[in-house]
Structure 1
Amino acid sequence: MDSTINLIKLSVGTETPETLAAWQTSPQAQGSDGLPRHITRMWPRREAEILNGGSIFWVIKGFIQARQKIIRLDEVIGDDGIRRCAIVLEPEIIRTSTVQKRPFQGWRYLNIADSPPDLPKQRADDDELPQELEIALADIGLI
């Protein structure tokens, strides 16, 4: 049996998991099936592991804050004729424990053991901490 791996990606221009959800309801963020997707130039080499229950973890404002289950990877040919990968996602955005993450380009693999846990359902609607406090708590290992 294949193991499972996640992806991690910066959500550029997103302020909160709620603004990510709002963006994903726009036609430009959806495929013809109405599901949200993220289009990337590189095709993941570890496709089988990703499709074995993997999620994409979203870095928002310098912190991993949410994830979405990956349904499938679709080939998309751009207007420029270049083959791209559409990472097709479950519409539900699941809030996770907040973990500080430095900026990086593209997406990266994220091992299951290194993935932050989901927030309990009753905490998913908690107000966000001010960014300075969140950084200070992350620096001392409390979040």
Structure 2
Amino acid sequence: MPANHVEIFTDGACSGNPGPGGWGAILRCGDAVRELSGGEAQTTNNRMELTAAIEALAALKRPCRVELYSDSKYLVDGVQKGWAVSWRKNGWRKGNKEPALNPDLWGRLLDLLEVHQVTLHWVKGHAGHPENERCDALAVAQRDRFGAAGR
């Protein structure tokens, strides 16, 4: 795999929606592997899914070709079906004129997608995909850490 080709795996987790949440990401370039994770005390699952992808892409130090794997249809469809681009073009309004959710995160993600050549792949969650399972464990650990902080 060329040095500028990176595989990214991401996941988000939330207890309650909204509630404490966490995200996890794995970045792999050749034999080099890096894990990232974080969370928030009050968030939603979709925000954590987006944040995982954003933080992973933002960690790249130069433009890369990226294969990004996520179990979030919200993330994958939002990009692949052009929804997020349309929402931004329409002042963060959906086709029905309702406000699009999470415009702050979608805007950051769209900006990063202009830097990197990203191909998104949807994977079924909780189905034994090793990297997805590891990202879920990272996200759940952060969700639990932020949830415990609020008690």
Q: TM-score, normalised by structure 2?
A: 0.26
Q: Using CA pairs below 8 Å that are at least 6 residues apart, which structure has the higher relative contact order? A: 2
| Higher-helix-fraction structure | 2
Q: TM-score, normalised by structure 1?
A: 0.27
